[in-house]
């Protein structure tokens, strides 16, 4: 949402970004204490130095880069669009969710079908959210004088017009983008199903 809807987070949403960063920083700290199974002996390794070295050699640097305050960096660099693209680095965190579901699928204490359904719902929500953000971002690439030529700028619902959509409440814009993404994916999906 940060990439598609904002050129720097508004002040009232900065706390969400900080909360997310704190959660991932806690994850980094916990990974230094998380035991692992040795690939050769198949024994659990509980020695803290071995655990720390293994984490430092694997994904520590990437995790740390993902936790950098990219919004503050973006504002400090004079709001350059190139720096804003570095927000995409945070998408690497999705790998953690994938690992979580893979571990959950292997857990025999949890119903496999339940895990698969939960994973399907999570993937669907994530894809829909991402599509909504991309659609909105594409609408904002045109100058404000040409807003009426975008998918959201040309939208009219009864007497309500989205012609100056950048001035509309963020949640209304997000909901509209989400609706547009769902309808677009559903109708295009039906179209391709019909062709096949």
| Helix, strand counts (H, E) of the chain | 9, 4
Q: What is the pLDDT of residues 92-120, one digit of tens each?
A: 777 888 888 888 888 888 888 998 999 98
Same structural domain for residues 124 and 65?
no
Q: What is the pLDDT of residues 43-62, one digit of tens each?
A: 999 999 999 999 999 889 98
For the chain, give the number of residues. 196
Residues forming a β-bridge with 44 = 37
SS3 150: coil
Tell me the DSSP string of 55-97: HHHTTHHHHHHHTS-HHHHHHHTTS-HHHHGGGGGGGGGHHHH
Counting the structural domains of the chain, the total is: 2
Q: Tell whether 123 is covered by a domain.
A: yes
Task: Please answer whether residues 11 and 141 qualify as being in contact, where contact means their C-beta atoms are separated by less than 8 angstroms.
Answer: no
Same structural domain for residues 6 and 73?
yes
Q: Tell whether 105 is covered by a domain.
A: no
pLDDT of amino acid 54: 93
Same structural domain for residues 149 and 68?
no
Compute the mean pLDDT over every residue in the chain, rounded to the nearest whole number.
82
Same structural domain for residues 82 and 139?
no
Token pair of 66 as six digits: 């993902």
Same structural domain for residues 63 and 143?
no
Distance CA 49, CA 44 (A): 14
User: Is it the case that residue 77 has pLDDT exceeding 80?
Assistant: yes
Distance CA 105, CA 100 (A): 9
Task: Please answer whether residues 139 and 152 qualify as being in contact, where contact means their C-beta atoms are separated by less than 8 angstroms.
Answer: yes
- Parent domain of 196: 119-196
């Amino acid at each position: 949402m940060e990439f598609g809807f904002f050129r720097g987070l508004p002040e009232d949403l900065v706390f969400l970004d900080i909360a997310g960063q704190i959660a991932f920083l806690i994850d980094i700290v916990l990974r230094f204490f998380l035991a692992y199974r040795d690939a050769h002996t198949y024994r659990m390794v509980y020695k803290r130095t071995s655990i720390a070295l293994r984490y430092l050699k694997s994904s520590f640097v990437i995790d740390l880069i993902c936790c950098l305050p990219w919004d503050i960096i973006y504002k400090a660099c004079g709001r350059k669009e190139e720096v804003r693209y570095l927000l995409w680095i945070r998408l690497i965190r999705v790998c953690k969710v994938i690992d979580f579901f893979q571990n959950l699928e292997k857990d025999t204490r949890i119903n496999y079908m339940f895990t698969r359904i939960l994973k399907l719902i999570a993937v669907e929500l994530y894809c829909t959210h991402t599509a909504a953000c991309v659609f909105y971002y594409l609408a904002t690439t045109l100058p404000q004088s040409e807003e009426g030529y975008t998918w959201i700028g040309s939208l009219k619902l009864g007497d309500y017009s989205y012609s100056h959509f950048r001035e509309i409440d963020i949640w209304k814009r997000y909901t509209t983008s989400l609706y547009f993404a769902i309808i677009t994916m559903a109708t295009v999906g039906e179209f391709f199903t019909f062709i096949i």
